Amino acid sequence: MGTIDTIAKILADDFARHAAPVIDFMAAQERNPFKILVAVMLSARTKDATTSVVVREQLFPKVTSLEDVRKTPEATLARLIFPVGFFRQKAHFLKQWPEIVDREFGGKIPDTLEGLMRLPGVGRKTANLVIAQAFRKPSICVDVHVHRISNRLGLVKTTTPLETEMALRDILPVRHWIQWNASLVSFGQRRCLPRNPRCEGCPIQSYCATGVKR
- Cis peptide leading into residue 83 (ω within 30°): yes
pLDDT score of 5: 96
3-17+140-213 against 32-135: fold identical: no
Amino acid identity, position 126? T
The sign of the dihedral angle between the CA atoms of 156, 122, 139, 149 is positive
pLDDT score of 27: 72
Average pLDDT of span 124-152: 96
pLDDT score of 182: 93
Global pTM reads: 0.92
21-30, 79-88, 152-161, 176-185, range with the lowest pLDDT: 21-30
Average pLDDT of span 56-62: 95
In terms of C-beta distances under 8 Å and separation of at least 24 residues, what long-range contacts does 144-151 make, across chains too? 144/188, 144/194, 145/184, 145/185, 145/187, 145/188, 145/189, 145/192, 146/180, 146/181, 146/184, 146/185, 146/188, 148/188, 148/192, 148/194, 149/184, 149/187, 149/188, 149/192, 150/184
Domain range summary for the chain, segments of one domain joined by +: 3-17+140-213, 32-135
pLDDT band at 46 (very low <50, low <70, confident <90, very high): very high
Q: CA 141 to CA 147: how far, in whole Å? A: 10
Average pLDDT of span 45-70: 95
- For 32-135, which CATH class? mainly alpha
Q: Residue 151 in contact with residue 165, Cβ under 8 Å?
A: no
Q: Average model confidence (pLDDT) for the chain?
A: 94
Q: What is the pLDDT of residues 166-212, one digit of tens each?
A: 999 999 999 999 999 999 999 999 999 999 999 999 999 999 999 99
Average pLDDT of span 16-35: 81
The sign of the dihedral angle between the CA atoms of 171, 139, 43, 104 is positive
pLDDT score of 154: 97
Reply yes or no on domain 3-17+140-213 having CATH 1.10.3720.10: no
pLDDT score of 189: 93
Is the confidence at residue 2, as pLDDT, over 90?
A: no
Is the confidence at residue 1, as pLDDT, over 60?
A: no
pLDDT band at 137 (very low <50, low <70, confident <90, very high): very high
Q: CA 70 to CA 99: how far, in whole Å? A: 8
Is the confidence at residue 23, as pLDDT, over 80?
A: no
Q: Residue 130 in contact with residue 36, Cβ under 8 Å?
A: yes
pLDDT score of 188: 96
Is the confidence at residue 21, as pLDDT, over 70?
A: yes
Average pLDDT of span 37-66: 94
